[in-house]
A and B are shown apart, each in its own frame.
Chain A
Amino acid sequence: MKFVIFAISFVIFLIVILPIALTFAVRNIPGDVQPSLKDTKKIYGQYTYYQSLISTRDNLAGIGVSLKNPRLANKHETIFNLYDQNNTLIRKITLKGENIADGQFVKILFEPIASSLNKKFTWSIASPDSSKDDGLEVFLTDKKPVWSQEFMVNQKLSEDSLSYVTLHKPSNATEVLRMVLVDFSTKVNGDRIFFMVMGILVICPLIYLLIF
């Protein structure tokens, strides 16, 4: 019987307690879903990539971007700069290639910018010390979201767009939980037939267990 109670507690833990508890550990929330990945651009030498965006939320606290580092070859510093709409440098972060796994989703975090909603920012990424053989690679996308603006290579406008997301600090402890519940209820509402079947599949055994 102890085993049965343990199993019931375990399942309740998995489907209720764990998902709720983990929401309190989420330090940053994405402004959107990262667009699908396509080709890459190598970050090395004289190349600096500039990507502009309109922040979809307040508390802009970082950029999440997938980076390639084949054979973990890159050992050099990569410079991330963030500019405001007046092109003033407002944040600067240095990344170390040796800490970046190949294909890793890297969160470049900085001091949050409180009132960032609907404001334009530009971030740049460059690694002057890296060579063509060992430079990190940043992914492009062919599904550019509306909030992502122009992409430039060394100040020259390009038709491409980087695949990335903005990261924002939650305004309060329960904001992430609310967002998870919204995601969940969207799926429930979107597939009501399945959830009605699920309801029957759960309620019938419960009735049997409680009444018979």
Chain B
Amino acid sequence: MLKIISELKLKKLFVLAVLLRILIMPFYFHPDIKTYYFQSSFLKQGVFNIYSYLTNNKGNLTIKEDFVYFPLTYFFLGTYQILATPILEPQFNNWLSDASEQARNNIGTFRYLFVLKLPYLILDLLIPFLLIRFFSDTDKKRKVFILWLFNPLSIAIIYIYSNIDIISVVLSLISLLLFRNKKIVLAGIMLGLAAGFKAYPMLFLPFLMIYAKSAKAAIKLFLAAITTMFLIILPFWSSAFLNSALISGLTTRIAFPGIPIGFGEAIMVGVLSLTAFFIMELTENLNSDKVWLSIFCVLLLLFSTIHYHIAWLLWIVPFLIIFSVTQPNILGKLAWVWLSLAFVIPLTFDDKFMTVSTLSALSPLYNLLPTPFLVLQKIYDPYLLQGAIHSILFGTSLVLIFRSFKMLKT
């Protein structure tokens, strides 16, 4: 890695990027990080099946939320917590299990936030090394490296909202690189592993299958990905797992927005647009080198048609950066406008932890500030505004997809 940084003459910029991240890490707080680390802390006590454990012990726990991630997340975070125990002072467990606002007054809050975000720092710094592999030109490699390390939006998503999505993002990128190098089975296994943390990479599978050279390769990819994912989730298959991890988040959100057609039926906009895109790709002869562009389009469609969590935007950032480097014209800039708009929408939700309360590790006084939602409410309907921005986002997505599809055919 050092060799790559030296070759690209980016040593100083890399150090600067690390410094910027270190400066933010301890001071921003989102409750998700505390929730999933609390849930993963049961690994220390020897709990194997977190889904049934939480369901059976909900009454005795201070944080009563379900574990909504896939099993590898539990084992990854739980193992890291065991390893990090020496640098987390003895009060750490009290801090984790304290569901009240007083937890953020704990003397060790900054240390905990810093240590708990360290795995994200490592994965975050790994991503530019993966992104440069999509290019052979040194200038473009430099560009993509800098764009990842210094784009404020991914810094904010990773270190303010600190969700575990970055693990799946890294594994999905590795999977795509393996796919490009014709290592189909390994690509499938890596995609299955990514889905072992969070289900969303499975959405890429049908689209990757289109780009496989032959039907045999497509089946290999499918079997490798599905088998890996099922091997991971099989030991946990229960109603507790189904209710908390499988029937939550993305899976239900894709199906939710619909156009009613009467008698209780509705056209699912997300499913509709993804199906249309899939069939369009299926019926064309596409350039397999640009498989990343197809995934970019899939994610554009997804975010345009669902109510998403701000941390999910990280899924699309690597592909958006590759897109903006390959398209340094107005289209590349349009992609950044898209990301900025997509970032603004969740900030207008009626949720303190999207904005003001992320500063509550510094002082609980920030909790008393009104959210942008409440401020907006005094002048305009925030839901209308969200809808308007989301519609602009959808329109921008359609333009980007239309233009990208032309590129996919060349």
**Which residues does A use to contact B, with CB under 8 Å?**
3-4, 6-8, 10-11, 14-15, 18-19, 22-23, 25-30, 33-37, 64, 101, 105, 107, 167, 176, 179-180, 183-184, 186-187, 190-191, 194-195, 198, 201-202, 205-206, 208-209, 212
Contacts and interface: CB of A to CB of B under 8 A. Distances in A.
B136 interface: no
Contact of A206 (B19, B149, B366): B19
A186 B105 CA distance: 9
B250 to A, nearest CB: 24
A209 B152 contact: no
Given A14-B24, A205-B15, A19 B359 contact: yes
Contacts of A202: 19, 22-23
Task: Identify the 6 closest CB pairs spanning chains A and B, nearest first.
Answer: A190-B107, A7-B150, A36-B100, A10-B152, A183-B363, A194-B111
Contact of A180 (B15, B20, B365): B365
B99 A36 contact: yes
Contacts of A194: 26, 108, 110-111, 114
B363 A180 contact: yes
A26 B369 contact: yes
Contacts of B20: 7-8, 11
Chain B contact residues (Cβ within 8 angstroms of A): what range?
Answer: 35 or more
Nearest to B62: A36
A187 B109 contact: yes
Interface of B: 12-13, 15-20, 22-24, 26-28, 89, 98-102, 105, 107-111, 114, 146-147, 149-152, 155-156, 160, 350, 356, 359, 362-369
A187, A195, A206: most-surrounded residue (chain B CB, <10 A): A187
Contact of B146 (A4, A28, A186, A195): A4
A140 B381 CA distance: 34
Nearest to B100: A36
Contacts of B15: 205, 208-209
A4 B362 CA distance: 26
Contacts of A6: 150, 152
A6 B111 CA distance: 27
A180 B156 CA distance: 22
A7 B155 contact: yes
A72 to B, nearest CB: 13
A190 B109 CA distance: 10
Nearest to A105: B367
A30 B365 CA distance: 7
A186 to B, nearest CB: 7
Given A8-B20, A22-B366, 5 more contacts: A4-B16, A101-B350, A183-B362, A191-B111, A205-B18
Given A184-B363, A205-B16, A209-B16, A7 B151 contact: yes
